C-alpha cells in the first residue's frame, strides 16, 4: 500500500531538505520510494510543493487531489492552498506562520481569515502549531523543516535513532545538533 506525504511551503523555506530526509528514511526501511521536486523559477519565493511516496512498488512520482496521507505545510496560506490534496482521513500538519504573498502585499488580494477553523470545518484532521518559534528556540528560524519532521515522526512507529541517522546524513555537520534539537521540539510539542 503506497503512502503519500506532501511537503508544501514558500520557495526558500527548506522544503527540499525535508523531502530528502524522509526519502532516505523510507529507503533505509526497505520501501520503494519516489520523491518529486520543483526546481527553477518557483523557488524564488513562490508556492512550492514536494511529493514523497513510499510503498512496495511506487509508480507515479506525483500526489493528486484527495490522495495525501500527510501534508506538511510550512506556512498557513499554503496549508489552505493544498487542503484539497488531503485524503478524507489524512492529517494536515501546519506551521501557523503567515507570509504574505505579493498580491496581498500590494493590496490586490487579501489573506484569508480563520484558515484553521475553515480547514477543520471541512471535517479534516488539522494539526496546527507555531513551528517557527520552536525552530527559533532550537537555534534557527531555518529549522522549521526539522520541527515539522519531528511532528510527523509521531505518526510512524520508528525508533528516534532511525530518524537521527538520516538527519545526520543530510545536514552539514555544524548544524546537526541544532537540527536534532528542532526535530525533538516538534516531536515533543503538546
Partner 1 sequence: MKKLMLGNEAVARGLYEAGCSFVSSYPGTPSTEITEEAAKYDEIYAERAPNEKVAMESAFGASLAGKRSFCGQKHVGLNVAADPLFTISYTGVNAGMVIVVADDAGMHSSQNEQDSRHYAIAAKLPMLEPSDSAEALAFTKLAYELSETYDTAVILKMCTRVAHSQSIVELGERVLPDPVPYVKNPQKYVMMPAMAKKRHPIVEERTAKLTAWAENTEINRIEEGKDHSLGIITASTSYQYVKEVCGDTYPVLKLGMINPLPVEKIKSFAASVDRLVVVEELDGIIETHCRSLGLAVEGKETFTCMDEFSQKTVARDLKLPFEEGRAFPEEVPARPPVLCAGCPHRGMFHILNKNKVNVLGDIGCYTLGALAPLSAIDTTICMGASVSGIHGFVKSTPENAKNTVAVIGDSTFMHSGITGLVNIAYNESNATVIILDNSITGMTGHQQNPTTGINLKGDPAGKINLEELVKSIGITDVAVVDPYKLEECDKAVKAALSKDCPSVIISRRPCALLKNVKHPGAISCDTDKCVGCRSCMQIGCPAISIRDKKAYIDGTLCVGCGVCAQLCRFGALPERKEF
Classify 97 in phi/psi space as left (phi over 0), alpha (psi -120 to 50) or beta.
beta
Q: What's the DSSP call for residue 20?
A: H
What are the residues whose beta carbons fall under 8 Å from the beta carbon of 160, sequence distance 6 or more?
Answer: 153, 187
Q: Does 62 bind partner 1 (CB under 8 A)?
A: yes
Number of residues that bind partner 1 (CB under 8 A): 62
Q: Does 14 bind partner 1 (CB under 8 A)?
A: no
CA distances from 45 to 16, 141, 167 (A): 14, 16, 25
Give the Cα separation of 15 and 149 in Å (integer): 11
In terms of DSSP bridges, do strands 68-73 and 3-10 run parallel, antiparallel, or are they unpaired? parallel
Query: From the CB of 131, what's the least distance to partner 1, in Å?
Result: 14
Q: Does 27 bind partner 1 (CB under 8 A)?
A: yes
Nearest CA to 11 out of 52, 53, 41 is that of 41
Q: Does 109 bind partner 1 (CB under 8 A)?
A: yes
Q: Does 58 bind partner 1 (CB under 8 A)?
A: yes
Choice from 17, 21, 72, 77 touching partner 1 (CB under 8 A): 77
Q: Does 137 bind partner 1 (CB under 8 A)?
A: no
Q: Does 104 bind partner 1 (CB under 8 A)?
A: yes
Query: From the CB of 50, what's the least distance to partner 1, in Å?
Result: 10
Footprint of partner 1 on this chain (CB under 8 A)? 10-12, 23-24, 27, 32-47, 58-62, 64-67, 77-78, 80-81, 83-88, 99-106, 108-112, 115, 118-119, 121-124, 141
Amino acid at each position: 500500500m503506497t503512502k503519500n506525504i506532501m511537503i508544501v511551503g514558500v520557495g526558500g523555506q527548506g522544503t527540499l531538505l525535508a523531502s530528502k530526509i524522509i526519502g532516505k528514511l523510507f529507503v533505509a526501511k526497505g520501501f520503494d520510494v519516489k520523491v518529486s521536486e520543483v526546481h527553477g523559477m518557483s523557488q524564488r519565493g513562490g508556492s512550492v510543493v514536494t511529493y514523497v511516496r513510499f510503498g512496495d512498488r511506487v509508480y507515479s512520482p506525483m500526489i493528486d487531489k484527495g490522495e495525501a496521507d500527510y501534508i506538511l505545510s510550512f506556512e498557513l496560506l499554503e496549508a489552505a492552498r493544498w487542503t484539497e490534496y488531503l485524503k478524507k482521513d489524512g492529517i494536515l500538519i501546519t506551521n501557523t506562520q503567515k507570509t504574505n504573498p505579493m498580491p496581498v502585499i500590494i493590496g490586490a488580494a487579501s489573506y484569508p481569515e480563520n484558515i484553521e477553523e475553515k480547514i477543520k470545518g471541512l471535517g479534516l484532521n488539522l494539526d496546527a502549531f507555531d513551528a517557527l518559534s520552536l525552530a527559533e528556540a532550537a537555534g534557527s528560524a531555518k529549522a522549521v523543516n526539522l520541527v515539522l519532521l519531528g511532528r510527523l515522526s509521531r505518526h510512524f512507529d520508528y525508533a528516534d535513532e532511525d530518524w537521527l541517522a538520516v538527519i545526520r546524513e543530510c545536514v552539514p555537520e555544524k548544524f546537526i545538533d541544532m537540527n536534532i534539537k528542532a526535530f525533538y521540539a516538534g516531536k515533543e510539542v503538546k
